Chains A and B, each alone.
Chain A
Amino acid sequence: MLHIFCPHCGELRSEEEFHAKGQAHIPRPLDPAACTDAEWGDYLFFRDNPRGIHHELWVHAAGCRQYFNATRHTVTYEILETYKIGEKPSVTAAGGAAKQAIDQGVTA
């Protein structure tokens, strides 16, 4: 059982209170009518499937019912951080923080 930090409740809560909602940071095209079918299809259906750091949307379904983002390592399932919608992740695959996490034993 994981304990996940809800950035709205401000405390660690049991995993069963949460639901994963897929990849985070997918902006809706500002003008859908101007999209090509390929662009629109890409927005609707195509998601990353990385091995390693992944930014995901989660919802605290049984608690405050708010959506937030989580940075998760897809190999170890370690949740490296959670942050509110609109905020930027501090742990990224490109950033040093990921390397640091890997050095601490999170190996891909």
Chain B
Amino acid sequence: MSNSINVYQQRPAAAHAESPLFHAELDQLVGKGPAKAGVTLREKKLLGHLTLRGDAKDSAFAGAVHQALGLELPSALMLVAAGETSLQWLGPDEWLLVVPSGTEFAVEQKLRAALDGQHISIVNVSGGQTLLELSGPKVRDVLMKSSSYDVHPSNFPVGKAVGTVFAKSQLVIRHTGEDTWELVVRRSFADYVWLWLQDASAEFGLAIKA
């Protein structure tokens, strides 16, 4: 069954890779922001993003995912992480797996081996989106300006992740630490969101981290 699926290395080590915000030259902006920035932005670029689909109610599926990743399948709106690997609920039968850069091919093969024979789907979407990490005391204010979703800790605790409307576009907001949030941004929206974030965080001071 799995033999008929074309799984291949999408980002060979020798190839030149450009993240969706490559043109913004973020590394040139490091250290140029205010000393006491309210918001610090870092692009967690070129990570491995895999979309995993399967039947959450099937214990064989949940068990095989746990066996392959060491992470429990998260329930609705939850995010689980171990080190640099995270698994996030996207829908009742869909999850986003983010793994360290360069390991996505091996992880996909491992998952496919563990899930062999099951009715599942794994798609490498690494090239289609990027992660922006926002940290600092004023990040919540920036999110409040940008989205109608309630980002107060009582409604949006650490470990929660929601897809929502953001600056008239759509993205996923993940709360990964008390003052740390991540945005999963699609490639075609990356430039727009980057411009939006610069404008929205200008009043709080924006710094860029490598």
Asked if A62 and B148 sit within 8 Å, CB to CB, the answer is: no
Q: Which of B148, B149, B163, B165 contacts A64 (CB 8 A)?
A: B163
Please report whether the interface of chain A is mostly helix, strand, loop or mixed according to DSSP: loop
Given contacts A63-B162, A64-B90, contact A16 B148 (CB under 8 A): yes
Given contacts A62-B170, A64-B92, A66-B91, contact A11 B163 (CB under 8 A): no
Q: How distant is the Cα of A64 from the Cα of B76 in the complex, in angstroms?
A: 9
Interface residues on B, range: 10 to 19
The 0/1 profile, CB within 8 Å of A marked 1, for residues 73-86 of chain B is: 00011000000000
- Is residue B164 contacting chain A, with contact meaning CB distance below 8 A? yes
Having A8-B76, A14-B149, A65-B91, one finds 20 other A-B pairs with CB under 8 Å, namely A1-B148, A8-B91, A9-B76, A9-B77, A10-B77, A13-B149, A14-B165, A16-B165, A17-B164, A17-B165, A62-B163, A62-B164, A62-B165, A62-B170, A63-B164, A64-B76, A64-B90, A64-B91, A64-B92, A65-B90
Q: Measured between C-beta atoms, what is the minimum distance from B70 to chain A in Å?
A: 25
Given contacts A16-B148, A17-B165, contact A11 B77 (CB under 8 A): yes
A-B contact count, CB below 8 Å? 40
Residues of B within 8 A of A (CB): 76-77, 90-92, 94, 148-149, 162-165, 170
Q: How distant is the Cα of A8 from the Cα of B164 in the complex, in angstroms?
A: 14
Chain A residues within 8 Å of B94, by CB: 64-65
Q: How distant is the Cα of A16 from the Cα of B90 in the complex, in angstroms?
A: 18
Q: How distant is the Cα of A17 from the Cα of B162 in the complex, in angstroms?
A: 11
Q: Which of B77, B149, B162, B163 contacts A65 (CB 8 A)?
A: B163
